[in-house]
Amino acid sequence: MRAVVQRVSRAAVRIRGEIRGAIGSGLLVLAGVETGDTPEAADWLAAKIARLRIFSDDAGLMNRSVQEIGGGLLVVSQFTLLASSRKGNRPSFDRAARPPEAIPLYEQFLRDLARHSGIPIATGEFGADMQVELVNDGPVTLLIDTRLRE
C-alpha cells in the first residue's frame, strides 16, 4: 500500500457537490492499494500513520501525534498513487489493485486506522469521482510505502 499523508488545518471531500467527509486540524490520507498487498500491510500502514509525530509541541518541534492534538482523520482512496510514468507520457496503473482485491484491503485499512488511532475516520467513497479540498499545514507531506517500510 502507498499513502500520501498531509498535515492539514482543514480538509474535506465532496462527491457530486456534497460534502462526504470533513475534518479540522488533523491528517488527510490519500491511500492506494497495490496488487498483492496484504492485511498485514494495511495494519502496518495504519499503525504507522496513527503514531506519526508530525504536530508541533510547545517548543515548536514535531513531537505530537494526531491523537495527542485531538485531531481528525480523513482518508480518501486514490489508485493513481500507484501510477508508473516510466514509459511515455501516459501513466500506467497496472500496479494498482483492481476493486475486488482493493476494496477489502482499503476497508481493512480504515478499520485498522480507527483501532490504532482511537479516532473516527471520515472518508470519501471508493471509486467515486471526488473533489478534495485541503489546507496543508506547514506544509507537511509524507509518502509512506509499505513495501519499502518507509
55 noted as active-site residue? no
In this prediction, residues 35-39 reach a mean pLDDT of 96
Question: How many structural domains comprise the chain?
Answer: 1
Confidence of residue 31 (pLDDT cuts 50, 70, 90): very high
**What CA–CA distance (Å, rounded) separates 39 from 7?**
25
Q: What b/e sequence results for 7-43 when a residue is b if at least 16 CB atoms lie within 10 Å of its CB, and e otherwise?
A: bbebbbbbeeeeebbebebbbbbbbbbbeebeeebbb
Tell me the percentage of the chain whose pLDDT exceeds 90. Answer: 90
pLDDT tens string 40-54: 999 999 999 999 999
Instruction: Answer yes or no: is pLDDT of 150 > 80.
Output: no
Q: Which of 35, 38, 80, 131 is catalytic?
A: 80
Query: Residue 89: inside a domain, yes or no?
Result: yes
pLDDT tens digit sequence for 109-120: 999 999 999 999
Q: Classify residue 150: in a domain, yes or no.
A: no
Annotated active-site residue in 6, 78, 108, 146:
78
DSSP, residue by residue, the chain: -EEEEEEEEEEEEEETTEEEEEESSEEEEEEE-BTT--HHHHHHHHHHHHH---EE-TTS-EEE-TTTTT-EEEEEE-GGGG-B-SSSSSPB-TTBPPHHHHHHHHHHHHHHHHHHH-S-EEE--TT--EEEEEEEEEEEEEEEETTTT-
Cα 80 from chain centroid? 13
Look at residue 87 in the predicted model and tell me its pLDDT.
Answer: 86
What residue numbers bound the domain in which 51 lies?
2-145
Note if 79 is an active site residue.
yes
> What CATH number has the domain bearing residue 38?
3.50.80.10
Q: Is residue 124 part of a domain?
A: yes
Closest Cα partner for 77 from 19, 150, 21, 26? 21
Q: Is residue 36 part of a domain?
A: yes
In the residue annotation, 80 being an active-site residue is answered as yes
User: What global pTM score does this model have?
Assistant: 0.95
